[in-house]
Structures are given as structure tokens and as C-alpha cells.
Structure 1
Amino acid sequence: MFVGSYTLRLDEKGRLALPVRFRDQVADGMVIKKGQERCIYGLTMGRVAEQSAAAAQMAPADTAEARMRARMSFGSMVEVEPDKTGRITIPANLRQYAHLDRDVVVVGVDTRFEIWDQATWDTYVEEQEAAFAAMESEGMPTLS
């Protein structure tokens, strides 16, 4: 499970040192891909396999929407393997998509993590804060 928010920096070659708490989870390889709201999603290979199986079960499979979803999701995936220091290289096309320059935030979101431009993340949080505060619950199921 990926949790927490971490303010980090990309180096001049587009490398990012993943949070220490995430490194064991992605040690066997991972993918990064375009995420929604102009961020990058990071997924374990196991999670990618689960998504592939779930996509295969969606019916009907040969619709314009299904093809678009598969192309946008699987087509933007890049397999990456963290180096010995836990760094991954984010390709230029994904850095451009998410407007990543130097200051980034890595956010754990349960089964994935997201990489955001710091200013974009700050704006997103500010815009969503009132809606989150107004929710009847925090959005998570409560355990009795």
C-alpha cells in the first residue's frame, strides 16, 4: 500500500529518488504512465496485471471508449526499474505531460502513487479542500 506525501526534486536528467517507504514495493519493477489531472501514476507490475485482467472482463471490449481507455492507459506505460539508490528516470514525454520541472510531490494513493508538479499539486489541494471538508465522511469506509 502506498501512503503519504513527499516533497522531492527531479535532477537535471529527469531522475527522481522514490520515497524510501515505496522502494521495497517496486523493487521487482514497475511502470509509470499518464495519470488523470496531469499527474503520473506509478504502479507495481502486479497492479498492472490486475488492471489488464479487469480490462479484459469489461464488456463490451470493442467499443470506441474501451479502445481509447486501453490506448491512453497501456499505451503511455513505461517500464522502469529503480537503480541501487531508488531512483527512476521519468521520460521527457511524461515530464512534459505532467509539467514536471524540478519540484515535485509524490503522493501515495493506496494501490498506486502519483507524481505531481509541486505547484499543480498545491493548487489541486487548495481547490479540493472545501469539498473534502464538506463530505459527510472522509470517504473511507468506517470499521466498527
Structure 2
Amino acid sequence: MSAQERLLIEAAITASQHAYIRYSNYRVGAALRAVNGLIYHGCNIENASYPVTICAERVALAKAVSDGVREFDAIAVVTANGASPCGMCRQMLFEFAPQLQVLIADFYGTLHHKLPLSDLLFLGFGPTHLEK
């Protein structure tokens, strides 16, 4: 694992400490790196109305996009057991960075998977499909 990958995973672990997990007690952290080097942090935010819960990956993406950033090269996602991003998060990230490098790790910093987003969302639907 490179020093940059380790830094991104550590940033995701730190972000996970802010998770609002009142219902599932399932903590998730994400650290999304823009091509300009800035890192945007996200944690999952649960809600009593479960469908409005926001995943850590989408929180990080929303923070970046709301700052005007649209290009990304890597994201680290951490959970207790190294689970991968959900389908909704995969689709949201694919909109901006189909070749995004995805690092999936646990809270100990152990890297479970490293792969491009396009492998996680095989034959994903993106902006080019809507071009006329």
C-alpha cells in the first residue's frame, strides 16, 4: 500500500468517528480525493425514516460537488468488516469518475480491496448514455 493510499484510509477512519448511527450502529467513513489533491470526508448519517439515511460516500461527494469540485481519482471507504459501497453510492460516484480507484478497508487500516469503480459498477449507466 502506498503512503497516499494509507493517508486516504486514515482520513476515512477519522471521518467514521463522526457517524450518526443511532439505529444500526454500523459506522462508515469515506475520504474522497479530488484530482487537485483535496480530500473530502464523509460519514454515514442515519435517520428514523430509514430511506433518508445518507451514506458516507455520498456525504463526501456532496461536500466536494457543493465546493465546485467535479474530478476525483480515489476514494477510501472503511467499515468494521471491509464492506463495499452500496449500489446507490456506486452510481453517484460513477457520474463523476467511472475510473475512480476504490480502496475498501476496515477500521484497523487493513486494505481488503483496491479496484476501479467501473469494476464495482460493471457496465454502469453514466452521462454518455444520455448524449444525443
Question: Do they superpose with TM above 0.5?
Answer: no
TM-score, scaled relative to structure 2: 0.27
